[in-house]
């Protein structure tokens, strides 16, 4: 197929490299589009094959011309989250299918635009929920759908972002809800999608709380960093700050962001302790599913380690899954976990708990990305997907509705009923 990529920042590299390195015999990148001319040119240098005229490049304002001139079959959307809906709808209207980075979008009005355009045009969007494809998470799906622990009644799910990964959401566009929906949408879309998929159900009611307790000026004062500047590049206390991001020290960050910032003022290294940050770093939600199961969910963005812990209670027993991705951050440096840091324990009622062997795979996101890319770019070459891992606009929508409802609950202090929320906006999923 002929592919156009919109948004040539960090994440587009995964799609680009997959097409160029693994699926060049089946697909071709015909065009690139970005609002930033520097990043656009950098991306084009890599995509252009020796001996060809190179790849066509378009600034954001010329997206419609891109479609008219290059006639792509599929548009890959890898822009900041708040822009996904606009590009999806324009691609649909032009007769293209879409591969969209998560989250599908960030709020109800944009979701309605996507759902209505999909119904009108019949085009398809694949939302790239790579977490579904990690072998360890697929094993949980297999256990639950086989009825191993009976009917799932209650879930406890905790996700820990450490002080390197977690901090990164407070440095750039993610730090404002109008760009990302906050972490309950931007990040939790993965986690709520896993819950929907594991439980084979959808959320109905959400009661949530959220606060920013760590990435704020008071923490800078506690750490003796009160004289910090607006960004790391010219911060007077950078040398004593463990949260410093030195864009010039990393070739990829320098090329992608530092050398591009004069074009649009997109600074990748804003101070994580800024007063004007608008998203929470500590979030909890209680969720009731259509299946009757309930879940407690916690996300923190300043944990001493990174990973997840989840326990499923069922009528026949319990599954506990724990994945330590990073053991800890010491002096700003992460200690990555070894291979044995994933455990899944099956405890059937009346039996002793059993440690299950957890399947592993190579590649980014716990081996999930290469498997997902195979299903996207060469589905015929893969085994039939008996776990139903491919995600369309419906799965994409349900994965953000828990977070959108949680945001509404944080604002109102009340429980939010999702079907009523959708009805009030005329959204039919």
Ligand X SMILES: NC(=O)c1ccc[n+]([C@@H]2O[C@H](COP(=O)([O-])OP(=O)(O)OC[C@H]3O[C@@H](n4cnc5c(N)ncnc54)[C@H](O)[C@@H]3O)[C@@H](O)[C@H]2O)c1
Q: Which is nearer to ligand X, 1 or 60 (CB)?
A: 60
Q: Which is nearer to ligand X, 40 or 405 (CB)?
A: 40
Q: Which is nearer to ligand X, 182 or 314 (CB)?
A: 182
Q: Which is nearer to ligand X, 80 or 166 (CB)?
A: 80
Q: What is the rounded CA–CA span in Å between residue 213 and residue 84?
A: 29
Half-sphere CA count of 228, side-chain side, radius 13 A: 29
- Closest approach, Cβ 383 to ligand X, in A, equals 22
Q: Which is nearer to ligand X, 152 or 395 (CB)?
A: 395
Q: How many CB atoms lie within 10 A of CB 88?
A: 29
Place of tokens 């008071």: 218
Beta strands 152-162 and 28-34 are unpaired
- Closest approach, Cβ 97 to ligand X, in A, equals 18
- Closest approach, Cβ 256 to ligand X, in A, equals 7
Place of tokens 């709520």: 192
Residues, the chain, total? 429
- Read off the tokens for 116: 């209505």
- Read off the tokens for 139: 């094993």
Strands (E), 141-266: 152-162, 203-211
- Closest approach, Cβ 268 to ligand X, in A, equals 8
Q: How far is CA 237 from CA 225, 267, 291, 333, 351, in A?
A: 6, 18, 52, 18, 57
Q: Which is nearer to ligand X, 78 or 115 (CB)?
A: 78
DSSP state of 1: -
- Closest approach, Cβ 85 to ligand X, in A, equals 11
Helix (H) or strand (E) segment spanning residue 421: helix 418-425
Half-sphere CA count of 82, side-chain side, radius 13 A: 10
Beta strands 74-77 and 2-6 are parallel
Q: Which is nearer to ligand X, 80 or 403 (CB)?
A: 80
- Closest approach, Cβ 126 to ligand X, in A, equals 12
- Closest approach, Cβ 356 to ligand X, in A, equals 26
Q: What is the rounded CA–CA span in Å between residue 410 and residue 111?
A: 20
- Closest approach, Cβ 337 to ligand X, in A, equals 18
Strand partners, 355: 345
Q: Which is nearer to ligand X, 16 or 102 (CB)?
A: 102
Q: What is the rounded CA–CA span in Å between residue 182 and residue 277?
A: 10
- Closest approach, Cβ 194 to ligand X, in A, equals 13
Q: Which is nearer to ligand X, 7 or 210 (CB)?
A: 7
Q: How far is CA 368 from CA 9, 57, 192, 199, in A?
A: 21, 30, 17, 20
Q: Which is nearer to ligand X, 9 or 403 (CB)?
A: 9
- Closest approach, Cβ 314 to ligand X, in A, equals 29
Q: What is the rounded CA–CA span in Å between residue 64 and residue 404?
A: 30
> Binding residues for ligand X, per CB under 6 A?
6-11, 33-36, 39, 60, 78-81, 83, 101-102, 128, 130, 186
Q: Check: CB of residue 20 under 8 Å from CB of residue 379.
A: no
């Amino acid at each position: 197929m002929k592919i156009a990529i919109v948004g040539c920042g960090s994440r587009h590299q995964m799609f680009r490299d997959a097409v160029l390195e693994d699926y060049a015999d089946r697909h071709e990148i015909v065009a690139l589009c970005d609002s930033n001319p520097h990043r656009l040119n950098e991306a084009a240098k890599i995509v252009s094959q020796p001996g060809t005229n190179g790849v066509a490049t378009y600034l954001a304002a010329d997206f419609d011309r891109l479609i008219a001139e290059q006639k792509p079959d599929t548009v890959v959307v890898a822009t900041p989250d708040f822009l996904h809906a606009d590009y999806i709808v324009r691609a649909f209207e032009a007769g293209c299918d879409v591969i969209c980075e998560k989250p599908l979008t960030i709020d109800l009005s944009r979701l309605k635009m996507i759902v209505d355009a999909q119904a009108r045009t019949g085009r398809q969007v694949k939302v790239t929920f790579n977490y579904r494809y990690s072998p360890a998470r697929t094993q949980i799906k297999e256990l639950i759908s086989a009825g191993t622990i009976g009917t799932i009644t209650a879930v406890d799910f905790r996700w820990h972002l450490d002080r390197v990964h977690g901090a990164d959401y407070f440095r750039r566009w993610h730090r404002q809800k109008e760009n990302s929906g906050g972490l309950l949408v931007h990040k939790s879309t993965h986690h709520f999608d896993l819950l929907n998929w594991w439980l084979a159900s959808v959320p109905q009611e959400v009661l949530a709380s959220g606060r920013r307790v760590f990435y704020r000026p008071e923490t800078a004062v506690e750490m003796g960093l009160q004289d910090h500047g607006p960004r790391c590049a010219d911060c007077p206390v950078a040398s004593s700050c463990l949260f410093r991001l030195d864009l010039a020290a990393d070739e990829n960050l320098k090329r992608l962001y530092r050398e591009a910032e004069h074009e649009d003022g997109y600074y990748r290294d804003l101070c994580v302790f800024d007063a004007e940050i608008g998203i929470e770093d500590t979030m909890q939600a209680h969720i009731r599913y259509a299946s009757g199961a309930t879940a407690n969910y916690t996300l923190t963005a300043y944990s001493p380690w990174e990973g997840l812990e989840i326990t499923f209670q069922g009528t026949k027993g319990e599954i506990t899954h724990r994945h330590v991705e990073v053991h800890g951050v010491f002096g700003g440096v992460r200690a990555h976990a070894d291979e044995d840091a994933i455990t899944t324990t099956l405890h059937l009622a009346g039996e002793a708990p059993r440690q299950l062997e957890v399947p592993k795979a190579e590649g980014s996101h716990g081996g999930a990305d290469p498997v997902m890319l195979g299903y996207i770019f060469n589905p015929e070459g893969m085994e039939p997907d008996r776990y139903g891992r491919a995600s369309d606009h419906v799965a994409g929508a349900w994965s953000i509705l828990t977070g959108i409802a949680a945001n509404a609950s944080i604002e109102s202090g009340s429980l939010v009923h999702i079907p009523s929320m959708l009805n009030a906006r005329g959204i039919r999923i």
